[in-house]
């Protein structure tokens, strides 16, 4: 699959918050996921799909986080009110009742909350997913790839408003991260770049690395994506 490299301005937009500020952040530790609300079979397929995205960043899932136990917590529900039965969720998400009311009012089927370490790197991500009729139209593999793509970096709220970063391979229906977005993810985890940034000039550095990595992916010099 061939993709056009993303421009520096497009990359800047990916990490621009609603208030217009540039906010880039990647994980500063190994990701240790835990998923609630699915059966064991579904869990296995979901984690395999998520792991494929983590691999783009040259990372692997950890069994546990030494400080927190789990640092990526995903909660599936059929209705937002079901989350009332999750112990201590209101401690993980301050003002949970206000949040829940907002999700119900807007008809949302997903929500992500990030927290950060002293370097601005992602420390914890909490994901709430309401498995509605729209989500049910997607395979578990697609959901796993899509959600992990959303969690692997701190994207702007409207980063993918006009274009999805994922695509289905027509021949087999498998969901993948589009190569040009995969290149951005790979570049974002380059050790030469900081774990967080607030200056838009960071997007220029990211674009240069992503362009080179996309070339490597397309020529077969990078076989891990």
Count Cα atoms within 13 angstroms, Cβ side, for 116: 13
- Give the end of a domain, one of 117, 137, 152: 152
Residue 1 has pLDDT above 60, yes or no: no
Average pLDDT, the chain: 94
My answer on whether 40 and 146 are in the same domain is yes
- Give the end of a domain, one of 110, 125, 152: 152
My answer on whether 167 and 188 are in the same domain is yes
My answer on whether 54 and 118 are in the same domain is yes
- Give the end of a domain, one of 152, 176, 211: 152
My answer on whether 32 and 132 are in the same domain is yes
Confidence of residue 219 (pLDDT cuts 50, 70, 90): confident
pLDDT 10s digits, 133-175? 999 999 999 999 999 999 999 999 999 999 999 999 999 999 9
> Which distant-in-sequence residues (6+ apart) come within 8 Å of 207 by Cβ?
5, 6, 7, 8, 11
Q: Which residue has the tokens 């397309």?
A: 218
79-112: b (≥16 Cβ within 10 Å) or e:
ebeebeebeebeeebeebeebbeebeeeeebbbb
My answer on whether 95 and 178 are in the same domain is no
Please tell me the predicted confidence (pLDDT) of residue 217.
79
pLDDT 10s digits, 117-128? 999 999 999 999
Alpha-carbon Rg for the chain in angstroms:
17
- Confirm if 156 and 23 have CB atoms less than 8 A apart: yes
Q: Residue 69 forms beta bridges with which residues?
A: 65
My answer on whether 133 and 31 are in the same domain is yes
My answer on whether 183 and 95 are in the same domain is no
My answer on whether 180 and 128 are in the same domain is no
pLDDT 10s digits, 62-107? 999 999 999 999 999 999 999 999 988 989 998 999 999 999 999 9
Please tell me the predicted confidence (pLDDT) of residue 3.
75
Please tell me the predicted confidence (pLDDT) of residue 224.
46
My answer on whether 51 and 119 are in the same domain is yes
pLDDT 10s digits, 27-65? 999 999 999 999 999 999 999 999 999 999 999 999 999
My answer on whether 4 and 52 are in the same domain is no
Please tell me the predicted confidence (pLDDT) of residue 94.
85
Check which CATH number belongs to the domain holding 95 and give it: 3.30.379
Please tell me the predicted confidence (pLDDT) of residue 47.
96
Q: Give me the number of domains the chain comprises.
A: 2
Q: Which residue has the tokens 């498998």?
A: 174
Confidence of residue 222 (pLDDT cuts 50, 70, 90): low
Please tell me the predicted confidence (pLDDT) of residue 225.
45
Pairing of strands 175-177, 166-168: antiparallel
My answer on whether 32 and 121 are in the same domain is yes
Q: How many CB atoms lie within 10 A of CB 18?
A: 8
DSSP state of 45: H
Residue 210 has pLDDT above 70, yes or no: yes
My answer on whether 197 and 96 are in the same domain is no
Determine the structural domain holding residue 83 and report its residue range.
Answer: 27-152
């Amino acid at each position: 699959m061939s993709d056009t490299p993303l421009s520096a301005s497009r990359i800047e937009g990916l990490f621009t918050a609603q208030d217009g500020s540039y906010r880039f952040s990647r994980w500063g530790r190994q990701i240790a996921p835990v998923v609630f609300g699915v059966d064991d079979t579904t869990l296995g397929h979901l984690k395999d799909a998520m792991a494929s995205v983590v691999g783009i960043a040259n990372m692997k899932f950890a069994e546990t986080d030494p400080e927190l136990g789990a640092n990526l917590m995903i909660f599936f529900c059929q209705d937002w009110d079901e989350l009332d039965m999750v112990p201590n969720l209101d401690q993980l998400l301050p003002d949970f009742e206000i949040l829940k009311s907002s999700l119900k009012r807007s008809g949302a089927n997903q929500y992500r909350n990030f927290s950060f370490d002293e370097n601005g790197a992602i420390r914890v991500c909490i994901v709430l997913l309401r498995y509605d009729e729209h989500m049910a139209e997607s395979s578990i593999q697609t959901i796993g790839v899509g959600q992990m793509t959303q969690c692997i970096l701190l994207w702007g709220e409207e980063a993918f408003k006009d274009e999805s970063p994922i695509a289905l391979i027509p021949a087999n229906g498998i969901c993948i991260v589009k190569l040009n977005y995969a290149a951005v993810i790979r570049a974002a985890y380059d050790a030469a770049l900081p774990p967080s940034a607030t200056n838009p000039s960071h997007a220029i550095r990211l674009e240069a690395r992503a362009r080179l990595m996309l070339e490597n992916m397309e020529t077969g010099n990078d076989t891990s994506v």
